[in-house]
Amino acid sequence: MSITYEDVLNAREKIKDAVILTPTVKATRLSLHLGIDLYLKLENLQHTSSFKARGALNKLLSLSDEQREKGVIACSAGNHAQGVAYNATRLGIPSTIIMPKFTPFNKIKRTEDFGAKVILYGNGFDESVGETMRIAEEENLTFIHPFDDDVVIAGQGTLGLEMLEQVPDLDVVVVPIGGGGMIAGVATAIKGINPDVEVIGAQAENFDAMLAMKERRPFTGGDLTIAEGIAVKTPSEKDFKIIDGLVDKIFTASEREIEIAIYNLLNDEKLVAEGAAGVGLAVIKKNIDYFKGKKVGMVLCGGNIDSRTLSTLILRGLIREGRITRLIFEIDDTPGQLSDISRIIGSAGANVIEVIHQRMMQTVSLKRAELEVVIEARDRLHVDEIIQTLEDAGFSVKALRDV
């Protein structure tokens, strides 16, 4: 069957005492920079830092006593896993989670911390789900699908009800798509309240399987993506039917665009977003003319990004802004050169972070040396001013600052 608006309302009554009513807040700086009125539904503040806790709880509450006693099993790259593990442990239900081998360590650890037994298998959700079904049958466990389940979908849809109650005059809502469960539930909720509100799907270019289904073409992607939470090659046919009827458009974003969007959310709004959450902002920025003049809501669906990935992403963002830049010099191999360069950089108000002084490589002549200096500056304009000052002092220098 297909879920109804009433199913979402019923789900909210069941789970409301055990989920966080997350806020929908205006993204003040992003609104100013983008020239639109943007509001963010902060599901990164939900239990387990993801919307997935909603659908998982709704499903667990629907189980019989016998099913609860035997336990449940799920397959997930992390957020559904944590949602199931957290709520299952809280309800006294044993849980087993199958996770793809590339799943970030923080998601594996948090799932185990919530009390689940974790098994790593396969290179992605589509490979892992087969092993999940085998174990479920062998051990007589109830399988909780992350998106191809009416009860789960209805649970995810509850965040859509909250969004329109918190900001009733939204014109459009942007929702990330992986398997399709969240947007199917959210679209059902939003169209049930106000059919005139547009619902826009957001997908990673590398995993645009739902868009491929909507365009009636084969899916040919499947490379690695920073948005691993929505890296699904085979979306749900059940969800597709809902999406095909209720979702107005689906846009995609590249890996670079998603990375920059995550950095924007952190830098402008001080919000930690995982890759799947960054996709929403990425498609808004990429298609900004479409959203001009509209009051836009976006589901910031989760904040479970690997700390090492986030660290690298921040550094790359600083490089793009010119706040960290590599300067390459070819200098005379004589005393005092490095001292003069450091003095000029310091006098210009920048900070030297790292220096590599290379004499041995044969890319420079015997009497010269290559010098690499990593500096911290205010922005790109500041770097340009520093380079000009160095050139005026007689140094040949070039900046390496694109990532």
pLDDT digits (tens, 9 = 90+) for 135-185: 999 999 999 999 999 999 999 999 999 999 999 999 999 999 999 999 999
Q: Which residues of the chain have pLDDT under 50?
A: 1
Q: How many residues does the chain have?
A: 403
Q: Are 175 and 183 a contacting pair, CB within 8 Å? A: yes
Residue-level pLDDT at 77: 72
Residue-level pLDDT at 356: 86
Residue-level pLDDT at 366: 62
Residue type, 115: G
Contacts made by residues 61-65, CB under 8 angstroms, sequence distance 24+: 61/14, 61/15, 61/91, 62/151, 63/93, 63/142
**CA proximity to 275, closest of 349, 159, 178, 186:** 178
Write out the DSSP string of 89-109: HHTT--EEEEE-TT--HHHHH
Domains of the chain, start order: 1-320 (3.40.50.1100), 324-400 (3.30.2130.10)
The SS3 assignment for 364 reads coil
C-beta atoms surrounding 190 within 10 Å: 28
Residue-level pLDDT at 234: 87
Tokens of 303: 């904040």
Tokens of 81: 């896993």
**CA proximity to 317, closest of 373, 379, 252:** 379
pLDDT digits (tens, 9 = 90+) for 235-294: 989 999 999 999 999 999 999 999 999 999 999 999 999 999 999 999 999 999 999 999
Residue-level pLDDT at 365: 63
- Phi–psi pair at 42, nearest 5 degrees: -90, 75
Instruction: Look at strands 142-143 and 117-120 and give their pairing.
Output: unpaired
Residue-level pLDDT at 128: 85
Residue type, 306: D
Tokens of 288: 């900004």
Residue-level pLDDT at 104: 72
